Amino acid sequence: MLGFTLGNVLAAFLLPPGIFIALLAVTAWRCPRCRMGLSALLAAFYALSTPWVGGQLLASLQIAPALDLRHPPAADAIVVLGAGRRLDAPEYGGDTVNNLTLERLRYAARLEAATHLPILVTGGEPGGGQEPEGRLMARVLTREYHVPVRWQEDRALTTWDNARNSAPLLHAAGVRRIFLVTHAWHMRRAVPLFRKAGFAVIPAGTGFAHTQLDSFMDLLPDARGLRDSYFGLHEWLGILWYKLRGLFQATP
C-alpha cells in the first residue's frame, strides 16, 4: 500500500501538470523578487489541477438532479446537444463523435427506452471536418444503439445555435415540452437558451460531477482535475458572454 501511495505521489509531480507546478515552486524559491507573484500563480495552478477543485467547479454549474427514469415526467420530445467530434478517426474510416458526445448519446438512448419519445440531435461542423456532428450523432444512435432519430439539425456551431436552429423543427411538429440531454454542468448555460426559444425544458443531465473527497489523491494535481476546471471555467465564461449578448439580442 505504501508503495502504491508513493508511486502515485511521484507520478503526480513527474507528469503534467504536476511537473510544471514543481518547476514553479523551485523557481519561486530561487527568485525572492518574484516569489509573491509566482506563489499566487502556483497556488491557483495547483488548486485548479486537483480533481476535487475541478469537481467543485463543475458542481457549481449543475441546476437539476438526475432524472428518475422509473417515473419520468411527461414531455413531447428529447433534444440531444452535440459536444464535439474526432476528425478523421482511422478506426472509423472518417469523422466520428468524441467521448463527450458519446456520453450524451448513451444517456439519450436510455431516456428514449424509458419514454419512447422522438429524438432531435443537433450539432454542426465547428473546426471543419467531413461530416456535421448532427449526422454523426444520428448515425451512432440508429446503428449502434438502434434508436430512431426523428429530427437532425446539422448547422449549429454553438449552444446558442443549438436552440435557435432546433426551434423551427420542433415547433413545426407541435413540440412544446422537451427533455434536454447534455452534461449536467452544461445545463446552466443551455436550459435558458431553449426556454427563450419557446420550450418548457426538463433537464436530463448526464456526467454529474463527483465532489466527494474520497482520498488524498483527489488533492494531487493531475490532467483530469485540470480538464474539469477548464470545463467549469469555460462554462462560466460562456454564461457571462451569453448574458452580455442577450442585452443586444432578444431571442437566441
CA distance 164 to 177: 16
Q: For 120-173, what is each residue's pLDDT tens digit?
A: 999 999 887 889 999 999 999 999 999 999 999 999 999 999 999 999 999 999
Residue 34's pLDDT band (boundaries 50, 70, 90)?
Answer: confident
CATH 3.40.50.620 boundaries in the chain: 77-207
Right CATH for 77-207 from 3.40.50.2300, 3.40.50.620, 3.30.70.20, 3.10.180.10? 3.40.50.620
Residue 24's pLDDT band (boundaries 50, 70, 90)?
Answer: low
Q: Concatenated DSSP letters for 79-123?
A: EEE---EEEEEGGGTEEEE-HHHHHHHHHHHHHHHHH---EEEE-
Identity (one letter) of the amino acid at 232? G
Between 30-39, 133-142, 226-235, the lowest mean confidence (pLDDT) is in 30-39
CA distance 94 to 140: 13
List the one residue out of 239, 208, 242 whose CA is nearest residue 62.
208
List the one residue out of 143, 147, 141 whose CA is nearest residue 123.
141
Answer yes or no: is pLDDT of 39 > 90.
no
Answer yes or no: is pLDDT of 9 > 70.
no
Between 158-172, 205-219, 237-251, the lowest mean confidence (pLDDT) is in 237-251
CA distance 217 to 4: 11
Model's pTM, two decimal places? 0.87
CA distance 30 to 17: 20
| Residue pair 123/155 in contact by the 8 Å Cβ criterion | no
Per-residue CA distances from 249 to 66, 196, 244, 245, 252 (Å): 32, 11, 9, 6, 7
- Pairing of β 77-81 and β 119-122: parallel
